[in-house]
């Protein structure tokens, strides 16, 4: 029987100096490719898409609750990247610029759905690829594997119920391990405002998961 106590909040992640050097090199490569795209280089564009597509698709899918929608949004993101290339200037990290485009498109879609009174996540919509980041459940007993999947589904639904700014901040921090400062740039927030927002979001997630666990007891 699952423990009815509140689950601990997800741990924060820090970037080690060696990892930071790798991130800097990755950004330099992305900027270099984007400057080639600015000159009309199709091969550079293809490499940019191949490098960043997985991240964009899965972030969009977690925001919208459906992997197919994630692919649709990703296509729009990279189409926007191509069309915006002539005006591109490397004034920020490439991933920050890319995720700002993603933010705008996803927020537009969630607002369109809200206007049409559509739900952003239906029962079972978290299937189809959104749990690829979970540990391999093959080594778990069938009961443990089922409980793990049910808890992840409950977490996905709780995240989907958050306001869009909170939802994106949680996804970028929890699943993409993005630094606070970069999330601030994407969401146009100060660092104190972001941390306050994340605190509220995590508190709500704990309440939702606690209610789920108590319902399973």
Are 33 and 114 in a shared domain? yes
Specify the number of domains making up the chain.
2
Are 56 and 97 in a shared domain? yes
Give, to the nearest 10 degrees, the angle between helix 142-160 and helix 164-174.
140
pLDDT tens by residue, 73-128: 999 999 999 999 999 999 889 999 999 999 999 999 988 887 776 444 454 444 44
pTM (whole model) above 0.85: no
pLDDT at 150: 80
Longest dimension (CA), the chain: 60
Domain containing residue 27: CATH number? 1.10.1740.10
């Amino acid at each position: 029987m699952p423990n009815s106590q509140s689950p601990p909040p997800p741990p924060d992640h820090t970037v080690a100096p060696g990892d930071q050097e790798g991130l800097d090199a990755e950004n330099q490569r992305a900027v270099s490719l984007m400057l080639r795209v600015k000159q009309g280089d199709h091969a550079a564009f293809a490499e940019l898409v191949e490098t960043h597509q997985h991240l964009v698709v899965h972030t969009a899918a977690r925001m919208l609750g459906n992997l197919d929608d994630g692919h649709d949004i990703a296509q729009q993101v990279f189409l926007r990247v191509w069309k915006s290339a002539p005006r591109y200037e490397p004034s920020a990290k490439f991933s920050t610029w890319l995720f700002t485009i993603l933010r705008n498109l996803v927020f537009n879609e969630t607002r369109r759905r809200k206007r049409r009174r559509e739900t952003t996540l239906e029962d079972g919509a978290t299937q189809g690829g959104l749990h690829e980041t979970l540990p391999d459940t093959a080594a778990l007993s069938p009961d443990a594997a089922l409980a793990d999947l049910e808890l992840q589904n409950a977490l996905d639904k709780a995240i989907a119920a958050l306001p869009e700014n909170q939802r994106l901040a949680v996804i970028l921090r929890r699943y993409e391990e993005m630094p606070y400062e970069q999330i601030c740039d994407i969401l146009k927030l100060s660092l104190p405002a972001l941390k306050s927002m994340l605190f509220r979001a995590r508190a709500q997630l704990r309440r939702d998961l606690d209610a789920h666990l108590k319902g399973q007891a």
